[in-house]
Amino acid sequence: MQTTRSPSAADAPRRAAWMRVLALAEPQALAQAVQALGPLPAHSTLRPPESGMAMVRARSGGTGAQFNLGELSVTRCAVTLDGGTMGVGYVPGRARGHAEQAAVLDALLQRDDWHDRIQAGVIAPLARAHAERAQRQARVAAQTQVEFFTMVRGED
């Protein structure tokens, strides 16, 4: 018996968290993790993977005025499982397979019978890999950091 997790305010940030991990995962690592899950339930495509552009906006210093940082190519996909659960995937880049796998996993994560297995087998390892990658990049960037300072000039 499959049941769909009931939507609630508490679930929204949790869903956002796993969608973020799926989007930021390396496509190859995600494909391997999905393969390790074995056969998945049948799904039908609601919106086939399609690529487009999204404007990334930022604030200077995190608090300043908003500006357009640049455009990012994004691929999105939506699928439904037989039980009527809809899953959506929005991933950076143009990897259609990545978007579809993210959508299928998003739908399965909303189902009680798959949630824990996918959290343990896919989301947790991918989140760890992403954190390590980010740390490594931060270390490399830190090596090139230059501290600027201005000596006091004797102006009078």
Partner 1 sequence: MMQTPLLSFGAPPAPGFADAVTQSQQTFRAALQALAHPGSVQPLAPDCGVPPGLSPGMTAMLLALADVDAPVWLPPGVDDAVRQFLRFHCGCPLVDAPSQARFAAVPAGHAAPALEHCHPGDPAYPDTSTTLLLEVESLDSGAAVTLSGPGIATQRTLRVAGLPAGFWAQWRANHQLFPLGVDVFLVQGNRLCGLPRTAIAEG
Which residues of this protein are in contact with partner 1, per CB under 8 A? Answer: 6-9, 11-12, 15-16, 44-48, 78, 80, 84-86
In whole angstroms, the minimum distance from the beta carbon of 50 to partner 1 comes to 9
Neighbour count for residue 132 (Cβ, 10 Å): 10
CA–chain centroid gap for 30, Å, is 11
Nearer to partner 1, 5 or 125 (CB): 5
Cα distance between residue 22 and residue 100, in whole Å: 11
Nearer to partner 1, 26 or 52 (CB): 52
In whole angstroms, the minimum distance from the beta carbon of 139 to partner 1 comes to 34
Q: Checking DSSP bridges between strand 66-81 and strand 43-59, what pairing results, if any?
A: antiparallel
Neighbour count for residue 108 (Cβ, 10 Å): 23
Nearer to partner 1, 11 or 132 (CB): 11
In whole angstroms, the minimum distance from the beta carbon of 8 to partner 1 comes to 5
Cα distance between residue 33 and residue 37, in whole Å: 7
Nearer to partner 1, 33 or 108 (CB): 108
In whole angstroms, the minimum distance from the beta carbon of 11 to partner 1 comes to 6
